[in-house]
C-alpha cells in the first residue's frame, strides 16, 4: 500500500475524500500525543520549581534553627554570668553575640565564621570559601588592658598566619593605640584595633577591611580613608538619633500639656523598635 503515489491533484483529492476518517483519526492521535508532551513539560517545570522552593525553605529552616541555637546558647551564658557561676562567662557572652552579629555581614555560602574555643587561635576566625583568605578576631571585655594582652594578640596573629587580625576592646581604650570610643587604628598593615561596643560600628569596620583586602588581594593596598568615612557617617547618625529622641520626647510632653493624645501613643522620630503597640517609648 505504501508508498502512495499521486499522478495528479485530482487523484490526491479523491484519496483524501475516500480516507477522511482515517486521516482525521491519525491527526487527532498525534495532536493528543503532542498535547500530552506539552503537559509533561509543564509538569516537569512545576516539579522543578517546587523542588527549588523546598530547598530554599530547607535552607531557611536550617538558618532559623542555627540562630535559635545561637540565641539559646547566649541566653544560657547570660544566665550563668548573672548567677556569678564563673567570670569566664562574662567574656563568652560578648564573644557569642559578636559571632552572631558577624554572620549578618558574611553570608554562609561565602564565608565560614568559627567561634569555637581553640587555644592560641583568637576568639573568632573568619575564612573565605572562595579563596584562602583568613582573619582572626580577638575580643576583650575588660576594664583595662595590659601589654600582655597585645603581645598575645600579635603572637596568635603570627602563629596562625592570618591575613588580617582584629583586636576589639569593648570596655576600655587600647593603650597607645586607640583612645577614643568608636574609633579604630590600622597598625603594621594588617592589624586593626577597634575600641567600641556598638554592633553596627564593629560590623562596618570588620566587614569593610575584609572586603577591601579580598578585592585588592594584598595588605599593601589597604586604606582607612573609605572606612573612616563610613564609620564617621555612622557616628553622625548615632548623634542624629539622639537629637530625634530628645525632640520626640519634647513633642510628646508638649502635646500632653494641651491634653492632645496620639492614636498610636507616640511619634516615629525615635527608632521604631522602641515603640510597642500604643505604648509611648518614653516613660
Q: In this structure, is residue 35 part of a structural domain?
A: no
Question: Does 134 share its domain with 144?
Answer: yes
Question: Does 188 share its domain with 234?
Answer: no
Structural domain containing residue 190: 109-222
Q: In this structure, is residue 30 part of a structural domain?
A: no
Question: Does 234 share its domain with 208?
Answer: no
Find all residues with CB under 8 Å of 272, minimum gap 6, and list them. Answer: none
Q: How would you write the pLDDT of the chain (283 residues) with one tens digit per residue?
A: 567 776 777 776 777 777 777 766 776 666 555 555 566 556 666 766 777 777 777 777 777 776 666 666 656 656 655 555 555 555 577 788 888 889 888 888 899 999 888 888 899 999 998 888 999 999 998 889 999 999 999 999 999 999 999 999 999 999 999 999 999 999 988 899 999 998 889 999 999 899 888 887 666 667 777 788 778 888 888 888 788 778 777 877 787 787 777 666 555 555 555 555 555 554 4
Q: In this structure, is residue 203 part of a structural domain?
A: yes
Q: Supply angle C-alpha 82, 170, 160, rounded to 5.
A: 105
Under a CB-based contact definition with an 8 Å cutoff, are residues 281 and 267 in contact?
Answer: no
Question: Does 168 share its domain with 266?
Answer: no
Q: Starting from the edge strand earliest in sequence, which strands make up the sheet with 111-114, in order? A: 111-114, 124-128, 134-140, 164-169, 191-195, 183-187
> What is the grid cell recorded at 277?
503597640
Rounded-to-integer distance, Cα 219 and Cα 206, Å: 14
Q: In this structure, is residue 4 part of a structural domain?
A: no
Question: Does 209 share its domain with 238?
Answer: no
Q: In this structure, is residue 218 part of a structural domain?
A: yes
Question: Does 138 share its domain with 202?
Answer: yes
Question: Does 124 share its domain with 190?
Answer: yes
CB count within 10 Å of CB 145 equals 19
Q: Is the pTM of this model over 0.85?
A: no
Number of independent structural domains in the chain: 2
Amino acid at each position: 500500500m505504501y508508498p502512495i503515489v499521486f499522478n495528479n491533484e485530482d487523484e490526491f483529492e479523491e484519496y483524501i475524500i475516500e480516507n477522511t476518517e482515517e486521516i482525521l483519526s491519525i491527526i487527532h492521535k498525534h495532536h493528543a500525543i503532542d498535547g500530552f508532551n506539552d503537559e509533561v513539560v509543564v509538569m516537569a517545570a512545576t516539579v522543578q520549581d517546587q523542588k527549588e522552593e523546598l530547598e530554599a525553605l530547607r535552607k531557611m529552616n536550617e538558618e532559623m534553627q542555627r540562630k535559635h541555637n545561637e540565641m539559646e546558647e547566649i541566653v544560657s551564658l547570660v544566665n550563668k554570668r548573672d548567677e556569678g557561676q564563673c567570670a569566664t562567662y562574662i567574656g563568652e557572652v560578648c564573644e557569642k553575640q559578636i559571632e552572631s552579629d558577624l554572620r549578618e555581614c558574611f553570608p554562609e555560602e561565602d564565608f565560614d565564621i568559627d567561634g569555637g574555643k581553640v587555644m592560641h587561635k583568637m576568639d573568632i576566625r573568619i575564612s573565605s570559601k572562595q579563596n584562602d583568605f583568613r582573619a582572626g578576631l580577638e575580643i576583650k571585655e575588660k576594664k583595662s588592658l595590659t601589654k600582655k594582652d597585645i603581645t598575645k594578640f600579635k603572637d596568635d596573629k603570627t602563629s596562625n598566619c592570618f591575613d588580617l587580625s582584629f583586636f576589639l576592646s569593648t570596655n576600655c581604650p587600647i593603650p597607645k593605640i586607640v583612645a577614643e570610643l568608636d574609633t579604630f587604628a590600622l597598625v603594621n598593615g594588617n592589624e586593626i584595633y577597634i575600641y567600641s561596643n556598638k554592633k553596627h560600628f564593629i560590623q562596618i569596620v570588620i566587614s569593610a577591611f575584609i572586603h577591601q583586602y579580598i578585592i585588592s588581594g594584598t595588605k599593601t593596598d589597604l586604606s582607612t580613608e573609605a572606612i573612616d568615612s563610613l564609620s564617621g557617617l555612622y557616628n553622625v547618625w548615632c548623634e542624629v538619633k539622639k537629637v530625634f529622641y530628645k525632640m520626640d520626647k519634647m513633642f510628646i510632653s508638649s502635646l500632653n500639656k494641651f491634653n492632645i493624645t496620639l492614636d498610636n501613643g507616640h511619634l516615629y522620630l525615635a527608632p521604631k523598635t522602641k515603640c510597642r503597640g500604643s505604648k509611648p517609648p518614653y516613660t
